[in-house]
Amino acid sequence: MTTSVRGGPLLSALLAVSVAATAPTHAQGGRAAGASPASQRPPAATTPQTYPPEQIAAGAALFAGQCGFCHGRDAAGGAGGTDLTRSALVAQDVRGDQIAPVIRTGRTDRGMPAFTLGSQDLAAIVAFIHDRQAQAQDNLGGRRSVDLADLQTGNAEAGRTYFAAACARCHSATGDLAGIASRLRGLPLLQRMLYPGGRGSTPPRASVTLPSGATVSGALAYRDEFVIALTDADGWYRSWQVGQVAGVVVDDPLEAHVGQLARYTDADMHDVLAYLQTLR
């Protein structure tokens, strides 16, 4: 079966990537084993406190609307905001005596504005934050976040050598990667290194040879073991069953990165990351 649709829905495969870092079991790069801040248990409250469930629920809604974008809806960190479940200030707070002043005055040097809230709403947010830290303290599972220090275990010189052997054919420290460490750092840099697709990357192209011998080429729109689809130069979305075409050729500039994932050791990844961090 062949399908051609002008302006039809764009089918795409979504690759969800989760990079999980674990605390090193031995010292690397001069950092003691287990020293990662993100691998440590959240601090216990200096003064244990309990709050009514309805107050915590009210605080959850207020926190999500006022604070969730930066600190995450669960107070465990978000777009630039700190993980409040690991905050020493929260652990030392007694019913808002330290949290409330920060909320009211903000921390403009860190990008946090001041908030004008009534005492009831402020108390509800305090209750929610304390409840989240208490839950984090009781959680015996793995860490919630990846601290920048988790990733500082590589050797930059070893990474330079590895880069020259495995990456320099397509990339250049003075070309496409110049200044990369000034734009990305920590986990985002590691993610871009391992999975570089996204805005600015060259999309894969496909060429399909039909049983008649004719060839149709265009930007790859979808591919699995059963279907190949592309968008041709005229904007038509065209798809075929793989078993009913004479041949398929896909040119994906990122294919080398996919193959590299199977060759990286943990040490290799951290060494290359350490080297990329020198490219400022």
Among the three residues 92, 117, 138, which one is the final residue of a domain in this structure?
A: 138
pLDDT band at 3 (very low <50, low <70, confident <90, very high): low
Q: What is the chain's length?
A: 280
Same domain, 218 and 244: yes
Same domain, 153 and 271: yes
**What does DSSP assign to residue 250?**
E
pLDDT band at 231 (very low <50, low <70, confident <90, very high): very high
Residue 233 predicted with pLDDT over 50: yes
CB 159: neighbour CB atoms within 10 A? 23
Model pLDDT, residue 22: 36
Same domain, 127 and 232: no
Model pLDDT, residue 215: 96
Model pLDDT, residue 146: 59
> Which tokens is 82 given?
């700190």
Same domain, 92 and 189: no
Assess if residue 65 is contained within a domain.
Answer: yes
Same domain, 191 and 208: no
pLDDT band at 26 (very low <50, low <70, confident <90, very high): very low
CA pair distance 128, 76, nearest whole angstrom = 12
Assess if residue 131 is contained within a domain.
Answer: yes
Same domain, 59 and 131: yes
Among the three residues 88, 107, 138, which one is the final residue of a domain in this structure?
A: 138
Of the candidates 253, 255, 229, 259, which has an alpha carbon nearest to the alpha carbon of residue 241? Answer: 229
Same domain, 47 and 104: yes
User: 75 with 129: CB under 8 angstroms?
Assistant: yes
Same domain, 60 and 125: yes
Residue 157 predicted with pLDDT over 90: yes
**What does DSSP assign to residue 104?**
H
Q: Which residues 6+ apart lie within 8 Å of 12 measured at CB?
A: 221, 222
Assess if residue 55 is contained within a domain.
Answer: yes
Same domain, 50 and 131: yes
**pTM score of the predicted model:** 0.45
pLDDT band at 83 (very low <50, low <70, confident <90, very high): confident
Which amino acid, residue 53? Answer: P
Q: How many CA atoms lie within 13 A of 116 on its CB side?
A: 0
pLDDT band at 134 (very low <50, low <70, confident <90, very high): confident
Strand partners, 219: 205, 231
CA pair distance 6, 18, nearest whole angstrom = 35
pLDDT band at 8 (very low <50, low <70, confident <90, very high): very low
What average pLDDT does this structure show over 47-70?
89
Of the candidates 121, 122, 141, 129, which has an alpha carbon nearest to the alpha carbon of residue 49? Answer: 129
User: 128 with 84: CB under 8 angstroms?
Assistant: no
Which amino acid, residue 124? Answer: A
Model pLDDT, residue 24: 39
pLDDT band at 152 (very low <50, low <70, confident <90, very high): confident
Same domain, 114 and 161: no
**∠19-25-27 over CA atoms, to 5°?**
105
Q: How many CA atoms lie within 13 A of 275 on its CB side?
A: 20
Same domain, 133 and 208: no
Place of tokens 């304390």: 130
Domain count, the chain: 3
Largest CA-CA distance found in the chain, in angstroms, rounded: 79
Q: For residue 49, what are the domain limits?
A: 42-138
Assess if residue 18 is contained within a domain.
Answer: no
User: 151 with 273: CB under 8 angstroms?
Assistant: yes
CATH of the domain at 223: 2.30.30.100
Q: Which residues 6+ apart lie within 8 Å of 7 measured at CB?
A: 235, 237
Among the three residues 115, 138, 161, which one is the final residue of a domain in this structure?
A: 138
Mean pLDDT of the chain: 80
Q: How far is CA 54 from the centre of its chain?
A: 33
Residue 106 predicted with pLDDT over 60: yes
Least confident of 70-84, 86-100, 237-251: 70-84
